[in-house]
Amino acid sequence: MGYKIMITIFVGENNPLTPNFYNNLIAQLQFHRLTCTCGHSGCLSVHGYYTRSLKVPAGKLCFRICRVICSCCHHTHALLPSFMVPYSQISMNEQAEVISAHEAKEDRERLLNRNPSIDESNCRYIIRCFLRHWKQRLLSEKMTLSNKAALCRGCFSAFARQFMQIHCTPNILFLNTT
């Protein structure tokens, strides 16, 4: 079996961050339209699932993430919605809010009160990763945090990964236009 590669499915900002939304997204996904990194289309099939957590205001939500395998190159791919950052339990939007508050020198109290699943330690980690891995990248491409959809597409276009994705695992953006 090959190594795991991410496929991020672009979803609008106003969609709910829930397991039901994700399950419906996968159920409606046209797998024949997905392209593997080997260049073949129509060769991906469901291979299995694994569990991922996401910290939301109500607590931790568990998602059953779909994995697919390419019948040509045998690489496996995790299918993530664009609100998820690979290897992180905090959504892209929440991370952008933490960073925006930091950059504006605002107090994080409102954010921490709104989402008690996120603590000061999470905020410090997000800011450290942003400063170490992402701030200069965004500046070099003149990207801002204000439009999350444009930020997501821009990061894939310029860096081939999701905003705040720290691990160098290959990641492909799929614009799910049905």
Contacts of 119 (CB under 8 A, 6+ apart): 112
The pLDDT assigned to 1 comes to 46
Q: Which residues pair with 44 in a beta bridge?
A: 70
DSSP 85: P
SS3 string, 49-84, reads EEEEEEEECCEEEEEEEEEEEECCCCCEEEEEECCC
Domain total in the chain: 1
State pTM to two decimals.
Answer: 0.90
pLDDT (average), residues 31-51: 90
pLDDT one-digit tens code per residue, 98-152: 999 999 999 888 888 989 999 999 999 999 999 999 999 999 999 999 999 999 9
pLDDT (average), residues 77-81: 95
| Domain span including residue 98 | 1-178
The pLDDT assigned to 134 comes to 97
pLDDT (average), residues 149-172: 93
Between 11-20, 63-72, 140-149, the lowest mean confidence (pLDDT) is in 11-20
The pLDDT assigned to 174 comes to 92
